[in-house]
A and B are shown apart, each in its own frame.
Chain A
Amino acid sequence: MIKAILIFNNHGKPRLSKFYEHYSEDTEQQIIRETFHLVSKRDENVCNFLEGGMLIGGSDYRLIYRHYATLYFVFCVDSSESELGILDLIQVFVETLDKCFENVCELDLIFHVDKVHNILAEMVMGGMVLETNMNEIITQVDSQNKMEKSEVLTG
């Protein structure tokens, strides 16, 4: 199961946080800081997995992350997930964002928090993977965009 999906930038500013288990808001912020601290001190080209921090559940959980330019994409998962599979999933997520935003960058995530959440919701639901096929995800997102547009025009 995926316990949390976090995106933050090189300075630790959160750009997306999605928790699939309930924590207090305060704890969520601490988890983000702790995770940033763990991930950001790692060199480039080391491995993409590490044991989770104390707050998220320690060594029973694993942080799987990728670093793209200014952003870290971090998935916190339990032992039932394949590490390499999650890496693929992160890639699918990023590629999907790229398609939906046409050359996505950090600012897109900032100004369109709602869209990012919606895209993620097409992939992961309640901590489990719903869909891995990028075309399928994009089809869903596009149809939602169309509905939005038609409502803006009519409403």
Chain B
Amino acid sequence: ADVIATARWTNQRRAALSQRKEAYAYMPAVSKGDGMRGLAVFISDIRNCKSKEAEIKRINKELANIRSKFKGDKALDGYSKKKYVCKLLFIFLLGHDIDFGHMEAVNLLSSNKYTEKQIGYLFISVLVNSNSELIRLINNAIKNDLSSRNPTFMCLALHCIANVGSREMAEAFASEIPRILVAGDTMDSVKQSAALCLLRLYKTSPDLVLMGEWTSRVVHLLNDQHMGVVTAAISLITCLSQKNPDEFKTCVSLAVSRLSRIVSSASTDLQDYTYYFVPAPWLSCKLLRLLQCYPPPEDGAVKGRLVECLETILNKAQEPPKSKKVQHSNAKNAILFEAISLIIHYDSEPNLLVRACNQLGQFLQHRETNLRYLALESMCTLASSEFSHEAVKTHIETVINALKTERDVSVRQRAADLLYAMCDRSNAKQIVAEMLSYLETADYSIREEMVLKVAILAEKYAVDYSWYVDTILNLIRIAGDYVSEEVWYRVIQIVINRDDVQGYAAKTVFEALQAPACHENMVKVGGYILGEFGNLIAGDPRSSPLVQFNLLHSKFHLCSVPTRALLLSAYIKFINLFPETKATIQEVLRCDSQIRNSDVELQQRAVEYLKLSSIASTDVLATVLEEMPPFPERESSILAKLKKKKGPGAVSVPELDDKREGGELNGGGDRGPDTASTPSPSADLLGIRSAAPIGATPTSTGSLLVDVFSEAGPAAPSAAVNDDGFLRFVCKNNGVLFENQLLQIGIKSEYRQNLGRMYLFYGNKTSVQFASFTTTVSCPGELQSHILSTKPVEPLVEGGAQIQQVLNIECLTDFSEAPLLNIKFRYGGALQNLSLKLPVTINKFFQPTEMTSHDFFQRWKQLSQPQQEAQKIFKANHGMDTEVLKAKLLGLGTALLDDVDPNPENYVCAGVIQTKGQQVGCLLRLEPNGQAQMYRLTLRCSKDSVSMRLCELLAQQF
């Protein structure tokens, strides 16, 4: 009773086999047992057919023969019927339609002979589906066999029900089967069949299978003496438990005790159910699966027994094998993997989780490919448990190695999945780099998914956005064909929303476009980004406006229509950004291949853009072609796409250390009040499919058109302190602080503990030089000595150019007055003077503090002195959208604490303000009242002045 070693199937077997084949060819009658000579002859004929045509001819001849036999007057004996049905089955297996014989098969069911009955049932189970005419006849035969008390006949009938499993059968037998299943005098083999038959009916028609009175007796089948009965019943119980966990929960303790008896028994106790020295491996696996339908047992004794089982299984894995046969280790490991799944499912026993992780770690390097595959897969789920995430991460090198060296693509795919699951901030750069390099050689079948995963990780863990931009551009370079629209839309959304990365993005796409052959997706991204932000790199003569334009236009003719349309829009944006390119671009728009293009969309764009550029004044152009406003935030469309591809639940990105990200990524939702248009990002970034000029929404075009024909007067310089911009930066660090017709001032700032650095970007929006450009920063309040260094800026700012200035800031003590920035310059002879509040506020020096609900309220109580608390009740100035509020609170710099406030509507934050001299702990609670459109804001800080100041600042944010 040992093996069929594969060897017996190979080599020497092959010789024997071919001999036998010869024998069959010449002596078809020599088949074992029943000796159906006609069948053997027919099969041999088919096998000897030299061509497909000959085979079909032979089959048609046989079908005609059988048909005439069935139709003939002479009654066929059972032997002939069996022979013909066997022939039909053979023909069916070869892929030919069988449209007769069903009636004959049904007639066989009512035969008293086992042989005939059996072949009838076989024909029906292979060939009959829910043909209602026949089903009634079949049901009659089944009914007779079920009541025959002949176990063999009963089993045949039960098999037939389970195989066909139609609604009519459920209606006829759903009430009968449970009775057979639990009756005391039913034979074991019939019980087994009844259990699976019932399961099948439950799956097709759950409404017809009423378990009520049978529940307890069915659960107790887990205790049945016959292991075969338990084996069949456990599938039924598992399915029922999944659907009705409460009614079946008594199965947990029974399953644990059954498992415990198997695991602790010596292998010989279970006689025939021992498989290669492993006691009842199949049943053990199924018991462990059943337990995965439930949470850990509440009863201490049951739980203890189960933990003991799991430990025993883990221990056995370390024992020397009892056999060298692969079947032995296979069976042993089947149980081990199910045990590990259960441990992961419970996710409550740190000790077992770590042991499981270590065991899987061993398997990662096992010589059996199957085990490496399963270990990679199980580790994926382990990676999302907080107890084992770190332990999984220690295997990163092995997993990367698997990605590089596994011969089998399914294993490499699992390795890629695991890298994705174990990714967090600490290893994101390494993992993304490895995935990118794998993409260069990855199988085509998995490239698209890999691209989506890289794009998601790059976005999720981007600490600096230049890395993000690099990654996505690399992605387009390596696997451009697999980069879906969602991916390149997303990089543009992020670049638009993040001022700090725009210059870098422009520089990088410019460089990428230098490649002689670059992917069309790169041209799309390049066209869009240079059209918006080409000005940020225009100061460098190597990427002067004309160079940028020529580079883009050199790709134009190789691109598809939608890309060309996008490029045309980029060109009109160039005319606005760089007046000096106007003549060249107008020339391009004017040429026949554009203005008379056979594609209506391209032609319309060329005509409209040409006209717009010739009649609109600079100011009007600047308004119409204004920089795209930030995109409203939403779930990454890429993540949505991956979910769609893999099904929900398959794409859990680890959520362990990225509480802040939602807000950071999106650069805050609030923008200047003057930009009203927010195009839908996923629909159409550039308005490719709509003819409206970029940046202008239909509602605003009316007033804009009037402006096209009026000359806008020169801007009146403002000297009064302008603090509109200031308040917009309380919850964000980057963006445009100020803008008029002449000058744009952008800021980008970063803070760490009590230190900060702010970059100021002064952009000359005109084509005329600014002279005597000076800036001074003064600190009216306590911040006086905090601005450490400001290098003076160059006194000349060329038309269209941008200059940069860096401020280093140190927070010595808490403060409430913001520093002032004064700018003076000459524009065409007139002196311009401008004062702005720099957005340096006390909250910039927050360190977020995570804490539990208990800790929070304990500290809240400790800060109970009246002056430590500041409170304001105010009317909502903006929409009360949850995501926007969260983004703002995260932008504030505190940690946004979930599950702390008993009212889930409320927001609770905690953080510590770092000054040089001290740390100030702060707790915040924001209670929105949607009905009244009001908020109540409460702050409690260890320092009174900080409570006051934060309350003032924040009350104007919501």
User: Do A and B originate from a single complex?
Assistant: yes
Binding site for B on A (CB under 8 A): 14-18, 20, 22, 25, 29, 42-43, 45-51, 59-60, 68-71, 80, 82-85, 87-89, 91-92, 94-95, 98-99, 101, 103-107, 110-114, 117-118, 121, 125-136, 140, 143-145, 147-149, 151-152, 155
Q: Is B385 an interface residue (CB 8 A)?
A: no
Instruction: Select one of A43, A48, A111, A148 contacting B114, CB under 8 A.
Output: A148
Q: Are A125 and B231 in contact (CB under 8 A)?
A: no
A112 to chain B, nearest CB (A): 7
Known: A125-B196, A155-B113. A89 touches B282 (CB 8 A): yes
Known: A47-B370, A47-B373. A135 touches B272 (CB 8 A): yes
- Contact partners of A29 in chain B: CB under 8 A: 95
Count chain A CB atoms within 10 A of each CB in B86, B126, B410 and give the residue with the most: B410
Q: Are B410 and A132 in contact (CB under 8 A)?
A: no
Q: Are B334 and A82 in contact (CB under 8 A)?
A: yes
Stretch at the interface among B8-16, B214-222, B635-643: B8-16
A130 to B93, CA, bound (A): 24
Instruction: Select one of B14, B78, B118 contacting A155, CB under 8 A.
Output: B78
- Contact partners of B616 in chain A: CB under 8 A: none
- Contact partners of B189 in chain A: CB under 8 A: 140
Q: Are B231 and A69 in contact (CB under 8 A)?
A: no
- Contact partners of B21 in chain A: CB under 8 A: 107
Q: Are B17 and A117 in contact (CB under 8 A)?
A: no
A48 to B330, CA, bound (A): 12
Known: A91-B327, A105-B17, A107-B21. A130 touches B408 (CB 8 A): no
A109 to chain B, nearest CB (A): 10
A50 to chain B, nearest CB (A): 5
Q: Are A69 and B14 in contact (CB under 8 A)?
A: yes
A47 to chain B, nearest CB (A): 4
Known: A17-B93, A47-B370, A113-B93. A129 touches B235 (CB 8 A): yes
Instruction: Select one of B17, B40, B334, B337 contacting A88, CB under 8 A.
Output: B334
Residues 187-207 (chain B) with a chain A CB within 8 angstroms = 189, 192-193, 196-197, 199-200
- Contact partners of A22 in chain B: CB under 8 A: 129-130
A27 to chain B, nearest CB (A): 11
Instruction: Select one of B79, B158, B370 contacting A48, CB under 8 A.
Output: B370
Q: Are B282 and A129 in contact (CB under 8 A)?
A: yes
Q: Is B611 an interface residue (CB 8 A)?
A: no
Residue of A nearest to B408 (CB): A46
B3 to chain A, nearest CB (A): 7
Stretch at the interface among B159-167, B688-696, B848-856: B159-167
Q: Are B6 and A131 in contact (CB under 8 A)?
A: no
A14 to B275, CA, bound (A): 29
Q: Are B118 and A118 in contact (CB under 8 A)?
A: yes
The 8 closest A-B pairs by CB, nearest first: A126-B162, A84-B334, A69-B9, A46-B408, A126-B200, A47-B369, A68-B9, A128-B235
Residue of A nearest to B333 (CB): A84
Q: Are A134 and B95 in contact (CB under 8 A)?
A: no
Q: Is B24 an interface residue (CB 8 A)?
A: yes
A26 to chain B, nearest CB (A): 8
Residues 258-286 (chain B) with a chain A CB within 8 angstroms = 272-273, 275, 281-283, 285
Q: Number of B residues whose C-beta is below 8 Å from A?
A: 87
Known: A85-B334, A88-B331, A114-B86. A144 touches B152 (CB 8 A): yes
Q: Is B788 an interface residue (CB 8 A)?
A: no
Residues 174-197 (chain B) with a chain A CB within 8 angstroms = 189, 192-193, 196-197
Residues 7-62 (chain B) with a chain A CB within 8 angstroms = 8-10, 13-14, 16-17, 20-21, 24, 31-34, 39-40, 43, 47
Binary contact readout B914-948 vs A (1 if CB under 8 angstroms, 0 otherwise): 00000000000000000000000000000000000
Query: Which secondary structure dominates where chain B touches chain A?
Result: helix
A88 to chain B, nearest CB (A): 5
List 5 A-B residue pairs with CB atoms under 8 Å apart, sorted by A's residue number: A29-B95, A83-B370, A113-B90, A114-B89, A128-B235
Residue of A nearest to B165 (CB): A126
Q: Is B558 an interface residue (CB 8 A)?
A: no
B279 to chain A, nearest CB (A): 12
A29 to B98, CA, bound (A): 14
Residue of B nearest to A106 (CB): B17
Q: Is B811 an interface residue (CB 8 A)?
A: no
Instruction: Select one of A104, A110, A128 contacting B43, CB under 8 A.
Output: A110
Q: Is B600 an interface residue (CB 8 A)?
A: no
Residue of B nearest to A58 (CB): B647
Count chain A CB atoms within 10 A of each CB in B16, B125, B162, B374 and give the residue with the most: B162
B28 to chain A, nearest CB (A): 9
Q: Are B647 and A60 in contact (CB under 8 A)?
A: yes
Q: A88-B331, A111-B24 are in contact. List 13 more A-B contacts (CB 8 A).
A: A47-B408, A68-B6, A80-B238, A88-B282, A94-B4, A107-B21, A111-B39, A125-B193, A126-B196, A126-B197, A130-B232, A133-B228, A155-B78
Q: Are A111 and B235 in contact (CB under 8 A)?
A: no
Instruction: Select one of A47, A133, A152 contacting B410, CB under 8 A.
Output: A47
- The total of Cβ contacts below 8 Å across the A-B interface reads 205
Binary contact readout B91-113 vs A (1 if CB under 8 angstroms, 0 otherwise): 01111010000000000000001
A46 to B616, CA, bound (A): 68
Q: Are A85 and B282 in contact (CB under 8 A)?
A: yes
Q: Are A46 and B369 in contact (CB under 8 A)?
A: yes
Q: Is B208 an interface residue (CB 8 A)?
A: no
A80 to B189, CA, bound (A): 24
Binding site for A on B (CB under 8 A): 1, 3-4, 6, 8-10, 13-14, 16-17, 20-21, 24, 31-34, 39-40, 43, 47, 78-79, 86, 89-90, 92-95, 97, 113-115, 118-119, 122, 125-126, 129-130, 152, 158-159, 162-163, 165, 189, 192-193, 196-197, 199-200, 227-228, 231-232, 235, 238, 272-273, 275, 281-283, 285, 289, 327, 330-331, 333-334, 337-338, 369-370, 372-374, 407-408, 410-411, 646-647
Q: Are B152 and A145 in contact (CB under 8 A)?
A: no
Residue of A nearest to B192 (CB): A130
Q: Are A113 and B20 in contact (CB under 8 A)?
A: no
Residue of A nearest to B161 (CB): A126
- Contact partners of A91 in chain B: CB under 8 A: 4, 327
A137 to chain B, nearest CB (A): 9
Residue of B nearest to A91 (CB): B327
Instruction: Select one of A69, A132, A134, A143 contacting B10, CB under 8 A.
Output: A69
A60 to B646, CA, bound (A): 9
Residue of B nearest to A137 (CB): B228
- Contact partners of A155 in chain B: CB under 8 A: 78-79, 113
Instruction: Select one of A42, A88, A129 contacting B408, CB under 8 A.
Output: A42
Instruction: Select one of B14, B228, B289, B374 contacting A84, CB under 8 A.
Output: B374
Count chain A CB atoms within 10 A of each CB in B31, B130, B408 and give the residue with the most: B408
A38 to B388, CA, bound (A): 35
A132 to B272, CA, bound (A): 9
Count chain B CB atoms within 10 A of each CB in A49, A105, A110, A126 and give the residue with the most: A126
Instruction: Select one of B13, B115, B199, B337 contacting A128, CB under 8 A.
Output: B199
- Contact partners of B200 in chain A: CB under 8 A: 125-128
Instruction: Select one of A70, A113, A152 contacting B17, CB under 8 A.
Output: A70
A92 to B162, CA, bound (A): 22
Residue of A nearest to B283 (CB): A132
Residue of B nearest to A13 (CB): B94
Instruction: Select one of B17, B272, B337, B369 contacting A133, CB under 8 A.
Output: B272
Q: Are B119 and A114 in contact (CB under 8 A)?
A: yes
- Contact partners of A111 in chain B: CB under 8 A: 24, 31, 39-40, 43
Q: Are A151 and B115 in contact (CB under 8 A)?
A: yes
Residue of B nearest to A17 (CB): B93
A111 to B273, CA, bound (A): 31
- Contact partners of B647 in chain A: CB under 8 A: 59-60
- Contact partners of B118 in chain A: CB under 8 A: 114, 118, 144
Known: A84-B333, A128-B232. A136 touches B272 (CB 8 A): yes
- Contact partners of A20 in chain B: CB under 8 A: 163
